[in-house]
Structure 1
Amino acid sequence: MTVRVGYFPHNNSLFVLRHRGILERALPDVEWVDLRALPEPAPVDVRTALPSLHSDWLFAEGGYDVIGTGFTPPLTALAKGHDVIYIGISGPRIENGRLVTLAGSGIETVADLKGRRVGIAHGSWQTSLLLLALDRVGLTWADVEPVDTGVLEGGAALVAGDLDAWVGAYPGLAAVENAHDVRTLVDTESLFGHQSLWFTSRDFAEHNREALGAVVEALQESDAWIEANPREAARYFVDDAVARGGQADLDTWEGALRGRPWGVDPVSESFLDEQQHTANLLAANGLLPRTVDVRSAVVPWIGEAVQAGRAAATV
């Protein structure tokens, strides 16, 4: 059977795995689906909804069977009624990004963002980080003007004065830090673990256990290679950017990869607690159409398989 795996550079593990040929040894009929080549989702109002491209394509013809994203997209999937199953999580990515402003902006704390323009890649983990930061100081989503900048454009908009603050992520955040005096309003570690999350549909998980196990094993092997060879891994991202007519710095990408955790871990109770709290906030602020139960997406046998694979990878 053909196993369709979605990938894009923002999930570093799957992006490198796409180029390593490891999964093909176990599953010769792998079909790699580049998320960037899929049709753009219908636009949503950043003030009242979340985009759902990742979850919708998990259940669509021409989409994929397995995908890895950040913290927020699985919550969108559950809120839309998709029967999503969690596969595993990365370690905390607390150094991957944070909420920043320029030092001369006059903004000293998160509370100063009331009525201000804040850039995020809407629908990603950045939406969750901003909402968690606002909630901690007694503000709501309606108290700021969120601006969907995408992942790459926010830094330039902040410097140009089009944004008052920005949830920046590496390596893009490094370019702003190197050229400007940046103030951190809130880091990631104090808000949530910000793990990557791999997920699938319940139907695929239940009927393709061996294939799912092969994907996890390949991720473990590939991630171990990235950790041991960050500069070589960084080359995949730089070459991809150049091939698309852009630019990327090898040293910056290497630094970003060195600072990230590698390997797939079972979904933890602490992660689920963070997700449930965030899902409740998203629903209360009108960004999800309903509340969800994140533990409905957890299947014990998958966690046991991931744990066994993780242990084998460290021997």
Structure 2
Amino acid sequence: MTIRVGYFPNNNSLFVLRHTGLLERRLPDVEWIDLRDLPASHAVDPRTALPTLHSDWLFETGGYDFIGTGFTPPITGLGQGRDLVYVGISGPRVENGRLVSLADSGIRTAADLRGKRVGIAHGSWQTTLVLLALDRVGLTWSDIVPVDVDVNAGGSALLGGELDAWVGAYPGLAGVEAQAQLHTLVDTDGLFSHPSLWFTSREFAENHRAELEAIVAALQESDAAIVADPREAARHFVADADQRGGNADPDRWEDALRGRPFGIGPVTDEFLDEQQRAADLLHANGLLPKAVDVRAAVVPWIADLVAATRPVAAS
């Protein structure tokens, strides 16, 4: 059986694993699906809906069996009625990015965002960050003008005046910081833990436990290698940018990887509480078609599987 794994650079762990060959040592037939190459027909109006590409392709013929993303996509899938289950989470990534404006823009707090153009990689953790920040100051999604931007292009749009605020993430945020003075409107720390996470379909989990264990074990091994040599891991992101006609700074990628948690742990009650709060807000703001119970996506034995694959020294 061919095991299909969906990956893209924003989930650093799976992206590095794609280039190490560690999974292929455990599974004889692996196919890697680059999410950036999937059809763009899943684009939506960021004012009224969430993109469903990640969960749609998990359940489509010829899609993938396992995926790693940020905070929001599994909530989106559950809201679409997809029978997905959580596999595991990383530690908090609160230093990964934040909501910023230009220092001379006059936009000083989240309360100043009413009617403003806010750039986000819509459907990612950035959507959740902005929604939580708005809720904290009594605003709703309809009070802003959300603009779906690429994680890198958003910085140029902010500098060019096309956006009033932007959720930047490293290493791209470092490039913008080098060109202009920014003001932090909202830090991720204090809003939510913002982990990386991995999920699959219930059918795959129940019928392919050995394969799921192999994927998690390979990720643990690859993550340990990233921690041991972040410079080598950074090389994969730089090479990918070169192949796609772009450019990336190896020093900034190395710095970004050094500042992120690696290793997969079981989902926790604290994480699920955060997911539920985000799901409730997404539904209340019209971005999810139905309310969801995130704990319905928890399979207890998967936590034991993840815990069993963790290196002894992992914390």
Range of TM-score over shorter length: over 0.9
**One-letter amino acid of the structure 2 residue matched with residue 229 of structure 1:** D
- RMSD (CA atoms): 1.0
Does 1:292 find its partner at 2:298? no
Moved more, 1-10 or 130-139: 1-10
Offset from partner CA, 1:176-225 (integer Å, 9 cap, x none): 11111111001001100001110000000000001100000000000000
**How many Å apart are 1:77 and its aligned residue?**
0.3
Is 1:202 matched with 2:202?
yes
Which amino acid is 2:100 matched to?
A: V
Query: 2:170 corresponds to which letter in structure 1?
Result: Y
Match of 1:266 in 2: 266
Distance in 1 between residues matched to 2:153 and 2:37, nearest whole Å: 19
Give the aligned partner of residue 239 of structure 1.
239
Contact 1:41–1:51 at 8 Å: present in 2 too? no
Quick check: 1:10–1:69 contact (8 Å CA) kept in 2? yes
Partner Cα distance (2:270, 2:58) in 1: 26
Distance in 2 (CA, whole Å) between partners of 1:183 and 1:37 is 34
Alignment of structure 1 residues 104-143 onto 2, 5 Å:
104-143=104-143
1:73-112 matches, cutoff 5 A: 73-112=73-112
Alignment of 1:147-226 (within 5 A): 147-226=147-226
**Aligned-partner Cα distance in 2 for 1:309–1:100:** 38
Q: TM-score with structure 2 length normalisation?
A: 0.98
Following superposition, the deviation at residue 123 of structure 1 comes to 0.5
Q: How does 1:37-48 map to 2 (within 5 A)?
A: 37-48=37-48
- Is contact 2:220–2:311 with CA below 8 Å preserved after alignment? no
Normalising by structure 1, what TM-score?
0.98
2:231 & 2:277 partners in 1: Cα distance?
37
SS of corresponding position for 1:107:
coil
Determine if contact 1:58/1:201 at 8 Å carries over to the other structure. Answer: yes
Amino acid at match of 1:230: P
8 Å CA contact 1:41–1:52 kept in 2: the answer is: no
Which amino acid is 2:305 matched to? A
Equivalent in the alignment of 2:49: 49
What is the CA–CA distance in structure 2 between the aligned matches of 1:175 and 1:110, rounded to whole Å?
A: 23
Structure 2 CA distance for aligned equivalents of residues 244 and 43 of structure 1: 21
Q: Over residues 239-279 of structure 1, what are the superposed CA-to-partner deviations in whole Å (9 max), with x where a residue is unaligned? A: 01001110110101101100100000000100000000000
The question of whether the paired residues in 2 share the 8 Å contact of 1:100 and 1:165 is answered with yes
Q: Which runs of 5+ in 1 are unaligned?
A: none
Q: How far apart, CA to CA, are the structure 1 residues paired with 2:41 and 2:261?
A: 30
